[in-house]
Structure 1
Amino acid sequence: MLDRDTTPELPPGLALAWGATPPPRRGPKPAHTVAQIVAAAVELADADGVANASLPNIAHEVGVTTNALYRYVSSKEELTVLLADAGWGPPPAGLASSGDWRSDVRAWTRAVVERLLGRTWLLDLSMRGDPVTPHRLAWTEVLLRACSLAGVGEEHLLGCVTLVSGFAHATAVRLATPTTPAEASAVRDHLAPRLSRADSAGLAALVSAGRYPATAEDRETFFTTGLDPVLAAVAGLTGREWETVF
């Protein structure tokens, strides 16, 4: 097994996510595994949001004291990294394997949005930097393959990941708390005259056409026409610089 202490420069939780064992501490031998602690945290988050996956609640769930949890994780930050990776879980088997890169990117985006809407507490976790844990990297690998299939050069692959995953995350945020049709209508009535006076012609046109704000009924639009500009940007990176795409 890997030894977490041999790589102190790693970000919190990374070594544990890849199978390291917690460093030994004085006292009784731990009665649980890190995986069991994380599973309890996921259960609590699924039940009532990420705030419910607090250290005291996890400790109560597994039948130990809060202080005893530090035999498994060194900090709440470390637990958060493990919780996020477990919450994402692996991508669905066979995801984005049609052989058509546009279909694959659409499928990946839909799967990400569905995963985030299935566990909206993932949207509440502040995850910094590029994915580095096993499950989150597995999702990234699927998207990288789809972008590679499009003919995107290696120098632009991570840019494509940022572009597509950013769209997926933003879409999930919008759909997680959708505006009802009645609310949207009221908002449009309120905004229409004010946007005209504020010299916001672009937004005024969208409001007038009933395209802003979006409602739950517009969900499929995000996966069809809403994703088209993103696909166009990916297509534009098959041999040209970013500046030539937009």
Structure 2
Amino acid sequence: MHSLLKDVPERKMPIEPDPRDLPPGLAPAWLGGPRPRRGPKPAHTVAEVVAAAVELADAEGLAAASLPNIAASLGLTTNALYRYVGSKDELIALLADAGFGPPPELPEPDDWRAGVRAWAAAALERYAARPWLLEVPYRGGGLTPHRLRWTELLLATLTGAGLSEADALGCAELVTDLAHTTAERRRALSGPDAADSPAEEVRTFLRPRLADEGYPHLAGLAEAGHFPAPAPNGFALERALDGIAALLSPVR
């Protein structure tokens, strides 16, 4: 028995990368806790720092969640805040993850289309509740726990429909990007400047110019009252769902 074990190659455990080589915020989002440092025990936790940042962002927008403002809200100096977060980029990653939070418990869908629609509606609600999430830099995508939980939920729906995991990931990225873009458009249309550009007045101004300057398709849409105007709610998502359906049923 002992001789046989000698012939079994030893399995080497993968070496954990240095957290400093990872994108900002990734390691603390998964590992938690302030980085070990010399000196007295920290008076706060990373979670408390992030919660203070979320409160500021909810109240006044992403710019308000600055290191000095967060430090002041916790009774700390800005330098003391670096005991909990290594940089502004790290803080933003943790802030975004907390802002998204875990996805809601969605009802069991009747079919995969209903599941994707429910997911997209939940994402739009989250963006509407916290529009500052739209200002968070992409920085390689959401690789933090809560944001990946949203992706996992969407992948479960898409793989359950019959897509391979690789195709499901591509479709999940499509739906995620679409939700983000839709939320941005809704925010712009409901913002304080939206009323300053009445659609009918803009159409009246553009119609003759589009027709005379070589924009026949846009001129026709303007004449019919369809431009400039947003596409009907849900139009883009339904077309994306049609594309996913085609992927599920390839032409033979």
TM-score, normalised by the number of residues in structure 1? 0.86
Unaligned runs of 5+ in 1: none
Q: 2:170 aligns with which of 151, 159, 183?
A: 159
1:127 shift after superposition: 1.8
Residue 43 of structure 1 pairs with residue 55 of structure 2: yes
Cα distance per residue 1:40-90 (max 9 Å; x no partner): 000000001000000000000011000000000000000000000011111
1:186 lines up with 2:213 in the alignment: no
Asked if 2 retains the 8 angstrom alpha-carbon contact of 1:88 and 1:136, the reply is yes
Say whether residues 1:28 and 2:31 are aligned partners: no
The residue identity in structure 2 corresponding to 1:197 is D
> Is 1:49–1:121's contact at 8 Å kept on the other side of the alignment?
yes
Q: Which of 130, 137, 151 pairs up with 1:119? A: 130
Deviation at 1:166, TM superposition (A): 1.4
Q: CA deviation at 1:208?
A: 3.0
After superposition, the Cα gap between the structure-2 partners of 1:147 and 1:190, relative to the gap in structure 1 and judged at 3 Å, is farther
Q: Which residue of 1 aligns with 2:80?
A: 68
Give, in whole Å, the separation in 2 of the partners of 1:150 and 1:206.
Answer: 37
Distance 1:210-1:142 versus aligned 2 partners, 3 A rule: farther
**In the aligned structure 2, how far is the partner of 1:212 from the partner of 1:114?**
27
CA distance in 2, matches of 1:121, 1:111: 16
Letter in 2 for 1:194: R
Q: Percent same amino acid among aligned pairs?
A: 52
> Number of aligned pairs?
232
The structural deviation recorded for 1:193 is 2.2
| Aligned residue runs from structure 1 range 70-219, under 5 A | 70-94=82-106, 97-178=108-189, 179-180=194-195, 183-214=198-229
Q: 2:30 aligns with which of 18, 38, 42?
A: 18
> TM-score, structure 2 length as denominator?
0.84
2:70 matched residue in structure 1: 58
Task: Name the amino acid aligned to 2:198.
Answer: E
Specify whether residues 149 and 124 from structure 1 end up closer, same or farther in structure 2 by C-alpha distance, changes over 3 A only: same
| Aligned residues: CA RMSD | 2.3
1:230 corresponds in structure 2 to 240
Amino acid in the other structure paired with 1:191: L
Shift of 1:126: 0.6
List alignment gaps of at least 5 residues for structure 2.
1-15
